[in-house]
């Protein structure tokens, strides 16, 4: 997605070999028109899939997910992150480890909003190790619903998440794929 690549080149800040900071348009300040275009692009990439729900995780996934939901005219659900919970019967729970924060969170979705006849598109801002995406997919699977695919705004292709998700059989669409952040430079995957 050229618009997004241009934005990464213009405003992305490389912090070491692993971290790309994009807090001017995606993770803290957000560009609403870019979010709208991202939503449209996801809808194109998953065209013809009869999506009934969008699922993301708080917080940075919410804006791209709501724009995708708007374009498709379907509900969006954001999974909540919690340190730990007393077990409840009315929620789906999965554990997700964050390598960045070095902590495990429980992510939850209410059973009221996901059912076995749903076709769910998972959306998230970043893909690195794939922990969040796998956690969201396991929640969809718990509900008996179908994972239509996984849409990612920025994939760090040099980390294992993308390969692992594809090996697990998920249709993965990443709008921007980053091959490397070495030498303080963003190098995109050639396509």
List residues near a second copy by CB under 8 A: 23-24, 28-33, 35-36, 58-59, 62-63, 66-67, 69-70, 73-78, 80, 109-110, 112-113
- Residue closer to a second copy, measured from CB, 30 or 179: 30
CA-CA-CA-CA torsion sign (6, 11, 13, 19): negative
Please answer whether residues 138 and 94 qualify as being in contact, where contact means their C-beta atoms are separated by less than 8 angstroms.
yes
**Which tokens belong to 178?**
């980053």
Q: How far is the CB of 158 from a second copy (least distance, A)?
A: 26
129 labelled as ligand-binding? yes
**At closest approach, how far in Å is the CB of 77 from a second copy?**
5
Residue 168 neighbours by CB distance under 10 Å: 13
Burial class of residue 132, CB neighbours in 10 A (0-12, 13-18, 19+): buried
Q: Which residues pair with 98 in a beta bridge?
A: 103
Nearer CB in complex with a second copy: 113/158: 113
- Shorter beta-carbon distance to a second copy: residue 124 or 162: 124
Is 27 marked within a binding site? yes
Report in angstroms how near the CB of residue 182 gets to a second copy at its nearest: 25
Please give the Cα distance from 18 to 78 (Å, whole number).
26
Of the candidates 125, 74, 123, 128, which has an alpha carbon nearest to the alpha carbon of residue 99? 128
Please check if 20 is assigned to a binding site: yes
Phi/psi-derived region of residue 159, left when phi > 0, alpha when psi is between -120 and 50, beta in every other case: beta
Nearer to a second copy, 39 or 161 (CB): 39
> Nearest distance from residue 74's CB to a second copy, in Å?
8
Query: Is 82 annotated as belonging to a binding site?
Result: no
Shortest spacing between CB 110 and a second copy, in angstroms: 6
Q: Among residues 145 and 172, whose Cβ is nearest to a second copy? A: 145
Query: What sign does the CA torsion over 157, 18, 37, 169 have?
Result: positive
- The binding site comprises 20, 27, 128-132, 156
Binding positions for xanthine: 20, 27, 156
Annotated binding site for 5-phospho-alpha-D-ribose 1-diphosphate: 128-132
């Amino acid at each position: 997605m050229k618009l997004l690549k241009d934005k990464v080149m213009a405003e992305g800040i490389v912090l070491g070999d692993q971290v790309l900071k994009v807090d001017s348009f995606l993770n803290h300040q957000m560009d609403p028109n870019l979010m709208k275009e991202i939503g449209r692009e996801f809808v194109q990439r998953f065209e013809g899939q009869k999506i009934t729900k969008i699922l993301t995780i708080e917080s940075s996934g919410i804006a791209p997910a709501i724009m995708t939901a708007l374009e498709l005219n379907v509900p969006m659900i954001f999974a909540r992150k919690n340190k730990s919970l007393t077990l409840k019967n009315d929620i789906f729970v999965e554990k997700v480890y964050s390598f960045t924060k070095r902590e495990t969170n429980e992510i939850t979705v209410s059973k009221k909003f996901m059912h076995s006849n749903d076709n769910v598109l998972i959306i998230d801002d970043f893909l690195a190790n794939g922990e969040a995406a796998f956690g969201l997919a396991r929640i969809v699977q718990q509900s008996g619903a179908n994972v239509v695919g996984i849409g990612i705004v920025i994939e760090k292709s040099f980390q294992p998440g993308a390969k692992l998700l594809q090996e697990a059989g998920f249709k993965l669409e990443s709008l921007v794929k980053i091959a490397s952040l070495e030498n303080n430079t963003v190098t995109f995957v050639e396509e």
